[in-house]
Amino acid sequence: MIPINTSSTEKNNISEGNLLHTICILLGGVSIITFILLITFSGVPANTKHTNCDNSPLVVNDSFERITLFSAGDAMSHLPQVVSAWDTSCNCFDFTDVFKYLPSIVKKSDVSFINFETTNGGIPYSGFPRFSSPDTVAWFLKSAGFNFFVNANNHSNDKDLAGINKTLDVFDRNNIKHTGVFRDSVERKKNYPVFLKIKGFKLAILNYTYGTNSIETTPPAIVNIIDTNIMKADLKIAADSMPDAVIAIMHWGVEYQREPNYEQKDIAKFLFKNGVDVIVGSHPHVVQPIEFYNFSFENKPKTGLVIWSLGNFISNQREQYRDGGIFVKFDVAKNIYTGKIKIDNVFYIPFWVYKQAAPVKYYLLPISKFENDTTTFAMDSKDKLAFKTFINDVRFHLKRDTLNIKELPVE
């Protein structure tokens, strides 16, 4: 064996190198521990740059907690729909087929809104112009996954005071959260705005309509009407409760118009400037665009989301543009370091209402799931054309006017 001689100089160099390396590791460890403590106890902003021992930047990426919300448009109950749901085997109304393809989509969300645009006014059941539906409609909507009903709309008063009270009784009996219409001022004061607490988030939910088809609300009931003075007071109550996000669901606009009008835009500006984060629109019975809106609230820049109109959810309207609608899914996300809220992961899901001829049945069909399906339903040429027309119309409309928001495919 040949002995290896190491000079004292070499030994010193090696020793110094080891010492420097050890110091660097120790300093790096202290730096990381200090940084973690700063994040934990002093709220260091996300994406703050720190230097590692080798002078490379240490970057902490944003991290978010989030909840998912889901919105659907006008749940209507024209008389042909009611008749088609009658099941002679049980002498009951069965709407299972209507919502057959929805639970797997809707139930993935934490909160799912639906505009209940009818009443549970009792027998005799009726359609347009003054709706009264079987009580089971509400139950089937809940079973499909919708867990929050809004019912301030132009049909709220269709069956007068008795219809209001009975509708709210049906909601309460089925443990359905709801807002927009109240039995009296005491109930409104106690329950409005609605505050939802979900997975560490607090949401404020508000709902208003442009009117009630000239049918006066019979006291002591209250239907929330779009009035800037009333809305400002309500939004002040919401803000004082310090929610993470404020959602306003508005029954507004002009029927069958595919673009928002000036009144909708003015109301939207008012709502955003008074603290609303997301506006969900209904009433036109056709799809209108979805937009992000930049504004200032309490001298801070914010970005809100406005869904001008979701279109019809379920109805007997078969005219072009009215025979379907969209669902919109979005997240409310909270930065775990700063507490800042943002609205993101916004997607739309177009669907078409298929009215089967014999026997008459209604089905809500997500278009991405059924556009290439030639076996599930035996559609005639007229239905196939209507389905294809709706697909082309809604996709062209939203791709043209809805920037940076994409369709969510359904398998």
Is 252 a domain residue? Answer: yes
Co-location of 28 and 133 in the same domain: no
pLDDT in tens, 57-73: 655 567 999 999 999 99
For residues 112 and 18, membership in a common domain is answered with no
Domain identity same for 16 and 154: no
pLDDT, position 279: 99
- What does the pLDDT read at residue 400? 80
CA 402 to CA 349: how far, in whole Å?
13
Point out the least confidently predicted range of 37-46, 56-65, 203-212, 236-245.
37-46
Nearest to 47 by CA among 63, 33, 61: 61
pLDDT of res. 297: 79
**Domain co-membership, 29 together with 96:** no
- Same structural domain for residues 147 and 199? yes
- Residue ranges of alpha helices (H) inside 200-306 are 228-240, 262-273
pLDDT computed for residue 159 by the predictor: 98
Q: Please check whether residue 2 lies inside any domain of the structure.
A: no
For 79-83, 290-294, 382-386, which range has the lowest pLDDT when averaged over its residues?
Answer: 290-294
Q: Are strands 245-251 and 201-209 parallel, antiparallel or unpaired?
A: parallel
Kindly tell me if the per-residue pLDDT of 43 is higher than 60. no
DSSP for 108-158, written as a single string: TSSEEEEEE-S----SSPB-TTS-B--THHHHHHHHTT--EEE--STTTTT
Q: Are residues 364 and 225 in the same domain?
A: yes
pTM value is 0.85
Q: Where are the beta strands (DSSP E) in 227-318?
A: 245-251, 278-282, 290-297, 300-307, 312-314
Number of domains in the chain: 2
| Statement to judge: residues 162 and 49 lie in one domain | no
Helix, strand, coil: what percent of the chain each, to 5?
30, 30, 40
Instruction: Specify whether 76 is located in the same domain as 55.
Output: no
- Domain final position from 21, 44, 59: 59
- Measured in whole angstroms, the distance separating CA 239 from the mean position of its chain's CA atoms is 20
The answer to whether residue 3 sits within a structural domain is no
Residues 24 and 101 in one domain: no
Q: Which domain holds residue 285?
A: 64-407
Are 24 and 149 members of one domain? Answer: no
Which pLDDT does position 402 carry in this prediction? 74
- What is the average pLDDT across 27-48? 46
List alpha helices for 54-102, DSSP H.
Answer: 79-84
Segment among 56-60, 111-115, 367-371 with least mean pLDDT: 56-60
Residue 271, in any domain of the structure: yes
In a shared domain, residues 176 and 29: no
Confidence check: pLDDT of 295 > 80: yes
N- to C-terminal Cα separation, the chain: 73
Residue 138 lies in a domain: yes
Summarised one tens digit per residue, pLDDT across range 326-358 is 999 999 999 999 999 999 999 999 999 999 999
146 and 166 in a common domain? yes
